[in-house]
Amino acid sequence: MSTSLELLADDVLLNVISFLSYTDATALRGSSRRFRELCDRQLKSRLILVDSSENGFNFTQRAYKRTNFDSNVAINVKYEKLLNLFESTLPNIRTLCLHEVEGIRDDNVHKIADSLRNLNYLWLYRLYRHLTDKGLSQLFLRCKKLQKLALHFLDINGSCFRDIPPVKSLSISSHWNLDADSYIALCSRLANTLESFSFDNLYGTEINKNLLRKIPKLKSVEITIHKSADFVPCLREITTHDQIDELSLNTIAEVSGENLLSIPFFIKITSVSLIFDSRISDEDLMKIIQRFPNVTDLSLNINDEGYYGAMYRGMDVDKVFPEYQKTVDVIRDLKNLENLSLIFDKSSHFKTRVDRYCDTLFSCRLLKRFKLGCLNDCELHAICDYLSTFSFEGCNRKFEVELFTSSKEVKVSDSLRFVRIYKQLDKEEREKSFYSTSNKR
- How does 354-385 read in b/e, with b if 16+ C-beta sit within 10 Å? bbebbeebbebeebeebbbbbbbeebbbbbbe
Is 211 contained in some domain? no
Is 403 contained in some domain? yes
Mean pLDDT rounded to a whole number for the chain: 83
Q: pLDDT for 252-282, tens place per residue?
A: 888 877 789 999 999 999 999 999 988 889 9
pLDDT at residue 226, rounded to an integer: 84
pLDDT at residue 57, rounded to an integer: 54
Q: pLDDT for 317-365, tens place per residue?
A: 666 677 899 999 999 999 999 999 998 887 766 777 787 888 898 888 8
Per-residue confidence band for 65, with pLDDT thresholds at 50, 70 and 90: very low
pLDDT at residue 206, rounded to an integer: 64
pLDDT at residue 230, rounded to an integer: 86
Distances (CA, A) of 397 to 333, 393, 405: 17, 10, 25
Res 402 pLDDT > 80: yes
CA 78 – CA 335 distance, rounded (Å): 51
Res 427 pLDDT > 70: no
Is 379 contained in some domain? yes
Residue type for position 50: V
Highest mean pLDDT: which of 107-116, 207-216, 238-247? 107-116
Prediction pTM value: 0.82
Poorest-pLDDT segment among 5-19, 47-61, 107-121: 47-61
Q: Which helix (H) or strand (E) holds 342?
A: strand 339-345
Highest mean pLDDT: which of 5-9, 168-172, 230-234, 349-353? 168-172
pLDDT at residue 148, rounded to an integer: 96
Residue type for position 365: R
pLDDT at residue 440, rounded to an integer: 38
Residue from 401, 319, 32, 23 nearest 13 by CA: 32
Is 345 contained in some domain? yes
Q: Which domain holds residue 273?
A: 254-424
Per-residue confidence band for 441, with pLDDT thresholds at 50, 70 and 90: very low
CA 191 – CA 246 distance, rounded (Å): 18
pLDDT at residue 434, rounded to an integer: 43
Res 294 pLDDT > 90: yes
Q: pLDDT for 369-380, tens place per residue?
A: 999 988 888 888
Per-residue confidence band for 240, with pLDDT thresholds at 50, 70 and 90: confident
Q: How many domains does the chain have?
A: 1
Is 284 contained in some domain? yes
Preceding amide of 374 cis, omega within 30: yes
Is 54 contained in some domain? no
Give Cα 22 to chain centroid, integer Å: 23
- The CA radius of gyration of the chain, in Å to the nearest whole number, is 24
pLDDT at residue 439, rounded to an integer: 38
pLDDT at residue 437, rounded to an integer: 41
pLDDT at residue 315, rounded to an integer: 64
Please answer whether residues 270 and 296 qualify as being in contact, where contact means their C-beta atoms are separated by less than 8 angstroms: yes
Q: pLDDT for 130-158, tens place per residue?
A: 899 999 999 999 999 999 999 988 888 88
Highest mean pLDDT: which of 13-17, 199-203, 289-293, 399-403? 289-293
Q: pLDDT for 166-185, tens place per residue?
A: 999 999 876 667 777 787 78
Is 267 contained in some domain? yes
Please answer whether residues 424 and 374 qualify as being in contact, where contact means their C-beta atoms are separated by less than 8 angstroms: yes
Please answer whether residues 205 and 237 qualify as being in contact, where contact means their C-beta atoms are separated by less than 8 angstroms: yes
Q: Which ranges constitute the DSSP H helices of 78-179?
A: 79-88, 111-115, 133-142
- How does 84-115 read in b/e, with b if 16+ C-beta sit within 10 Å? ebbeebbeebbbbbbbbbeebebebbbbbbeb
Is 71 contained in some domain? no
